């Protein structure tokens, strides 16, 4: 077999992120080589990366979670890993995850670890799930570690689904309003264009502007439609880039209404992942590095990325977090109590649950403002158009009298 060159990003035992290049026969061998060096693989890219990316895109989030959940269930039931993987590969043979599971089985059967096989597979598991799998193998509690990973992944999926569901009605409302305004501009307003040419009417400036806008939209409807379609394609292409999405999220995090909700959600997810990693005996520095890598907000990620260096100097986690001013004092008390009592993993999970619940409350408040704001905006536009038309008609009648 030909030797391939792989670029990797991994976390060492001190929690530092390392990038480099290595050569191996395949992705599984590359991942095993990194594990043997004491590194936790986060990303592997190779000449096969395009095919790997396509496979990963085909494996949906729900299917990915189901694979991890079912593997954890089989292991908890006493089924060996050597038996569980072929069983899963057979059950998912006709689904996108089937080839990935078959590759994982081959890697493990060839002597590789499950964590290395998962890292090299196109399943697209998040870094904390890979770290949990590696910690579970080291502690002999692989089933529990995979179950924790599945729970966290499912929490993220449900949060995203709740947000999408909550946005359905406002989206439909805004869409219906845009269609209504478009129909008025194309079908109603241009009918009054004759008033602009009438010598008997002194058309007000507002009416003249609205009627001219309606005539322009009707005459250039095809060009405007193509422009809107091109703009939609451009926006979709930009949002397909991770850097653009991160910039949008970071911008929204600074907004007065949406910002607190996004920050709370990010803090809750970070604390939950961090707590789960510690509960599965992942070293503190490595755990905080991995959990920070799962964040989307650049400001929060950059602040927490400095925490490992401060912890290496002997400082406590609570004191480091207090300087960042992300958590209120009453929430930091949970971290302080956890450090003193030795129950930091459990209290971090509690902190995560509290922050996530607070984020959901803020989410409901933010979304509750979307509907009246949309109704007010659409009503204002339609009202201005109707007033402009009535003023034009009134001006004609006044001159006639």
176 has a pLDDT exceeding 50: yes
Residue 247 Cα distances to 164, 241, 251, 253, 386, angstroms: 20, 10, 6, 10, 39
Q: Which domain holds residue 340?
A: 148-401
CA–CA separation, 239 and 115 (whole Å): 31
CA–CA separation, 385 and 392 (whole Å): 11
The confidence score (pLDDT) of residue 51 equals: 45
> DSSP assignment of 10-61, as one string?
EE-TTS-EEEEEEEESSHHHHHHHHHHTT-EEEEEE-TTHHHHHHHHHHS-H
Q: Tell me whether residue 131 is in a domain.
A: no
355 and 298 inside one domain = yes
Give the pLDDT band of residue 137 (cuts 50, 70, 90).
confident
90 and 206 inside one domain = no
203 and 102 inside one domain = no
Q: Tell me whether residue 377 is in a domain.
A: yes
Q: Which residue has the tokens 């929690």?
A: 15
Q: Is the model more confident about 57 or about 284?
A: 284
Contact 127, 293 (CB under 8 A): yes
CA–CA separation, 2 and 119 (whole Å): 21
Lowest mean pLDDT among 43-52, 60-69, 194-203, 257-266: 43-52
Q: Which two tokens stand for residue 279?
A: 């509960």
How many domains is the chain partitioned into structurally?
2
**Which one of 66, 91, 125 terminates a domain?**
125
104 and 163 inside one domain = no
CA–CA separation, 364 and 384 (whole Å): 31
152 and 250 inside one domain = yes
CA–CA separation, 299 and 223 (whole Å): 41
166 has a pLDDT exceeding 80: no
* Average pLDDT, integer, range 258-271: 87
CA–CA separation, 37 and 105 (whole Å): 22
User: Positive or negative, the Cα torsion across 95, 96, 99, 102?
Assistant: negative
Q: What is the CATH classification number for the domain harbouring 291?
A: 1.20.81.30
* Average pLDDT, integer, range 302-312: 86
31 and 175 inside one domain = no
Helices 205-219 and 221-239 cross at an angle (nearest 10°) of 80
Question: If you average pLDDT over every residue of the chain, what do you get?
Answer: 81
202 and 68 inside one domain = no
Task: Give Cα 352 to chain centroid, integer Å.
Answer: 17
**Which one of 94, 125, 156 terminates a domain?**
125
* Average pLDDT, integer, range 224-250: 84
**Which one of 90, 125, 160 terminates a domain?**
125
Q: Which two tokens stand for residue 139?
A: 């502690």
Give the pLDDT band of residue 46 (cuts 50, 70, 90).
low
Q: Tell me whether residue 140 is in a domain.
A: no
Q: Tell me whether residue 130 is in a domain.
A: no
Residue 217 Cα distances to 115, 203, 211, 226, 381, angstroms: 59, 20, 10, 13, 15
309 has a pLDDT exceeding 60: yes
184 and 221 inside one domain = yes
85 and 168 inside one domain = no
Q: Tell me whether residue 375 is in a domain.
A: yes
The confidence score (pLDDT) of residue 337 equals: 92
201 and 346 inside one domain = yes
DSSP symbol at 96: T
Lowest mean pLDDT among 183-192, 198-207, 319-328: 198-207
Q: Tell me whether residue 85 is in a domain.
A: yes
Q: Tell me whether residue 152 is in a domain.
A: yes
> Which ranges of 257-306 does DSSP label H, i.e. alpha helix?
258-279, 284-293, 298-305
Q: Which residue has the tokens 């060096």?
A: 37
Q: What is the largest CA-CA distance in the chain?
A: 97
Q: Tell me whether residue 299 is in a domain.
A: yes
212 and 353 inside one domain = yes
73 has a pLDDT exceeding 90: yes
pLDDT tens-digit profile of 120-134? 787 878 877 887 888
244 and 359 inside one domain = yes
């Amino acid at each position: 077999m030909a030797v391939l060159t792989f670029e990797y990003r991994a976390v060492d035992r001190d929690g530092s992120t390392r990038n480099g290049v290595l050569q191996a026969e395949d992705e599984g061998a590359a991942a095993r080589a990194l594990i043997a060096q004491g590194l936790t693989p986060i990303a592997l890219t190779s000449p096969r990366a395009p095919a790997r990316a396509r496979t990963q895109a085909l494996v949906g989030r729900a299917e990915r979670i189901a694979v991890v959940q079912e593997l954890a269930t089989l292991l908890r039931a006493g089924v060996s890993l050597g038996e569980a993987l072929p069983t899963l590969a057979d059950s998912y043979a006709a689904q996108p995850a089937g080839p990935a599971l078959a590759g994982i089985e081959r890697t493990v059967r060839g002597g590789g670890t499950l964590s290395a096989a998962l890292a090299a597979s196109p399943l697209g598991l998040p870094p904390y799930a890979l770290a949990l799998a590696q910690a579970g193998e080291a502690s002999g509690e692989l089933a529990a570690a995979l179950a924790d990973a599945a729970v966290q992944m499912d929490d993220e999926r449900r949060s995203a689904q709740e947000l999408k569901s909550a946005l359905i009605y406002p989206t439909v409302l805004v869409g219906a309003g845009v269609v209504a305004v478009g129909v008025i501009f194309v079908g109603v307003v241009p009918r009054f264009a004759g008033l602009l040419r009438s010598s008997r009417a002194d058309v007000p400036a507002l009416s003249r502007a609205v009627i001219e806008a309606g005539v322009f939209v009707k005459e250039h409807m095809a060009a405007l439609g193509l422009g809107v379609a091109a703009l939609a394609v451009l926006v979709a292409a930009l949002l397909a880039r991770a850097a653009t999405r991160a910039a949008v999220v970071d911008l929204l995090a600074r907004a007065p209404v949406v910002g607190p909700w996004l920050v709370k959600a990010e803090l809750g997810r970070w604390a939950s992942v961090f707590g789960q990693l510690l509960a599965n005996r992942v070293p503190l520095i490595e755990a905080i590095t991995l959990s920070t890598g799962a964040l989307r907000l650049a400001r929060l990620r950059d602040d927490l990325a400095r925490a490992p260096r401060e912890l290496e100097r002997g400082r406590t986690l609570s004191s480091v977090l207090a300087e960042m001013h992300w958590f209120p004092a009453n929430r930091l008390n949970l971290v302080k109590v956890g450090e003193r009592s030795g129950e930091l993993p459990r209290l971090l999970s509690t902190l995560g649950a509290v922050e996530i619940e607070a984020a959901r409350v803020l989410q409901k408040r933010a979304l509750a403002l979307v509907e009246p704001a949309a109704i007010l905006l659409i009503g204002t536009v339609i009202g201005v158009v109707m007033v402009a038309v009535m003023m034009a008609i009134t001006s004609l009648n006044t001159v006639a009298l």
